[in-house]
Amino acid sequence: MLDIRFIQENEELLRLTAERKRLPDPLDDLLQTDKERKRLLAEVERLRRERNRLSAQVPALLRAGERDEADRLKAEAKRIGNALAEAEPRLEKLDGRFRELMLLVPNVVSPDTPIGASDADNVEIRRVGSPPDFAFEPQDHVALGESLGLIDIARGVKTAGSRNYYLLGAGLHLHRAVQQLAVDRLAAKGFTVMDVPLLVREEALTGAGFFPGGREQTFELPADGKWLVGTSEASLVSYYAGEIVDVSRPIRLAAVSGCFRREIGSAGRDVRGLYRVHQFAKVEQVVLCRGEAEESERMLQDITRNAEELLGLLELPYRVVAVCTGDMGQKNYKQYDIETWMPSRQSYGETHSSSNLHDFQARRAGIRYRDEDGKLRYCHTLNNTAIASPRILIPLLENHQREDGSIYIPPALRPYMYGMEAIGPQR
């Protein structure tokens, strides 16, 4: 959410931002609603003052025996009360509409964000490592996982429908190993690691910036008034919602959690394997810092580097791209994606994302701090996917496959894999 004064002063910039982010432009409706709301608010306040002024005179008139004048003032106060009874609900409705429209205004983007229409226009920043050059015909992760008894998609579909799966034996261990490696690395870097609610109230998703635009992607439990999170970012941001925090040092939070996504609009896309599934797990980083562009930019580089270090430990080739306007979400000011090489796709596939939101998210969630002068200001917030599984299993299995059908286990994962150096064919 942006400040209404900023919106009024930067109308053309925000219209251009909505166009470049391929989002509806709510500004005409918002500004007109704000004008009507302010006009009606001034009228309501005038009527309240007049009613209170008249009502305050009645006791003195009655004491002075001027009953006729007192009755006249009471009648006038009643008339004003009736006018208020009509105006106040209209003002409440306009206030509600104003809040709804404010939630639709997109965040501005950083000056160095590429302009583009889709992920095809994202700009590569750096590339690390080289795709493997196999001396044999490589298999995709589904074939590998099934032959090694790691993945069972057919029974996942039988049990839960499309885009579901089972992970078995070493497949489960690998899934948990990458998560624990990420948790341990972040804890060593000073992150407070949490187990967080996965069922949250609507206001948690609205405050974190996922609603109203992301409702169609979110599983709802209407009988309970709750929603399943698609990322623990919502739960981590909500931890400090409505609070005044101390960000003399950045607050670093992390969570390991299950995540759920409906994948509306992805029919026919990535239907084979583990790339786009309804249920997955993530280790998420969230940072709250002072509302200073230089500091939040440093934090963005920091959390992105944390994810890159994990990919280095997993010995996977990847690239970092600057996400263009047309591929960004409503709430992001600046975004990087990390894409890891996936041999079966013969391309890099997104496995991580880093975002700087400036104060857009903190305004919605009501997270503030006191600056050096004691003035309350909104924090800047950032987030990053440290690891997401089972998607990360795709490059792990495919890049580390060997000619005999086994899978090489990088040394960093072996302590979490009971010392296994490889996952071998079942006998």
Q: What is the CATH number of the domain that holds 74?
A: 1.10.287.40
pLDDT value, residue 212? 93
Q: What is the DSSP letter of 64?
A: T
Domain's final residue, options 68, 102, 136: 102
**Cα–Cα distance for residue pair 254/231, rounded to 1 Å:** 11
From the candidates 350, 354, 368, 398, give the one annotated as an active-site residue: 350
Residue 107 included in any domain: no
SS (H, E, C) 216-256: HHCCEECCCCEEECCCCHHHHHHCCCCCECCCCCCEEEEEE
Report the distance separating Cα 368 and Cα 213, nearest Å: 24
What is the tens place of the pLDDT at every residue in 184-207?
999 999 999 999 999 999 999 999
Choose among 255, 296, 262, 277: nearest CA to 379. Answer: 296
Q: Look up 276 and say whether it is catalytic.
A: yes
Q: Quick: pLDDT tens for 243-299.
A: 999 999 999 999 999 999 998 777 677 778 999 999 999 999 999 999 999 999 999
**Plot region of 405 (φ>0 → left; ψ -120 to 50 → alpha; else → beta):** left
Q: Is the dihedral of CA 278, 281, 285, 286 positive or negative?
A: positive
Pair (97, 124) in one structural domain: no
- What DSSP designation does 310 have? H
Give the separation between CA 188 and CA 425, rounded to whole angstroms.
35
From the candidates 185, 261, 290, 363, give the one annotated as an active-site residue: 261
pLDDT tens digits, one per residue of 214-225? 999 999 999 999
Residue where a domain terminates, one of 69, 102, 135: 102
User: How many CB atoms sit inside 10 A of residue 128's CB?
Assistant: 13
Q: Which one, of 262, 199, 285, 259, lies nearest residue 391 by Cα?
A: 259
pLDDT at 369 over 70: yes
Residue-level pLDDT at 272? 86
In a domain, 167, yes or no: yes
Is 113 part of a structural domain of the chain?
no
Cα angle for residues 11, 368, 93 (degrees, 5° grid): 55
Contact residues for 267 (Cβ-Cβ < 8 A; gap 6+): none
pLDDT over threshold 80, residue 107: yes
What does the mean pLDDT of the chain come to?
96
> pLDDT value at position 266?
72
Catalytic residue among 20, 235, 391, 398: 391
Token couple for 106: 């997109």
Structure confidence at residue 269 (pLDDT): 74
Residues 131 and 182 in one domain: yes
- Annotated active-site residue in 235, 353, 355, 389: 353
pLDDT of residue 323: 98
**Residues 66 and 173 occupy one common structural domain:** no
Instruction: Identify whether 350 is a catalytic site residue.
Output: yes
Clarify whether residues 372 and 325 are in a common domain: yes
Residue type, 90: R
Task: Note whether 49 and 189 are same-domain residues.
Answer: no
Q: How confident is the model at residue 425 (pLDDT cuts 50, 70, 90)?
A: confident
Q: Is the pLDDT of residue 148 over 60?
A: yes
Q: Does the pLDDT of residue 427 top 60, yes or no?
A: no
214 and 263 belong to one structural domain: yes
97 with 130, same domain?
no
| Same structural domain, 75 and 128 | no
pLDDT value, residue 195: 97
- Told to judge if 79 belongs to the known catalytic residues of this protein, a careful annotator would answer no
The reply to whether 50 and 184 lie within a common domain is no
Q: If we measure between CA atoms, which residue out of 289, 309, 412 comes closest to residue 356? A: 289
**Nearest in space to 409 (alpha carbons), one of 129, 134, 170, 223:** 170
Q: Which residues constitute the domain of residue 20?
A: 4-102
Omega cis (within 30) before 395: no
Which of 276, 298, 319, 377 is an active site residue? 276
Strand locations in 229-322, DSSP E? Answer: 251-260, 279-289, 318-322
Q: How many CB atoms lie within 10 A of CB 210?
A: 26
User: 403 with 300, same domain?
Assistant: yes
Domains of the chain: total: 2
* 114 in any annotated domain: no
User: How high is the pLDDT of residue 95?
Assistant: 97
Q: Are residues 161 and 191 in the same domain?
A: yes
**Tokens linked to 195:** 């187990």
> What are the DSSP E strand ranges found in 25-80?
none
Q: Are strands 220-221 and 199-200 parallel, antiparallel or unpaired?
A: unpaired
Amino acid making up residue 144: L
pLDDT at 426 exceeding the cut of 70: no
Q: What is the mean pLDDT of residues 407-414?
A: 98
Answer yes or no: do 98 and 125 share one domain.
Answer: no
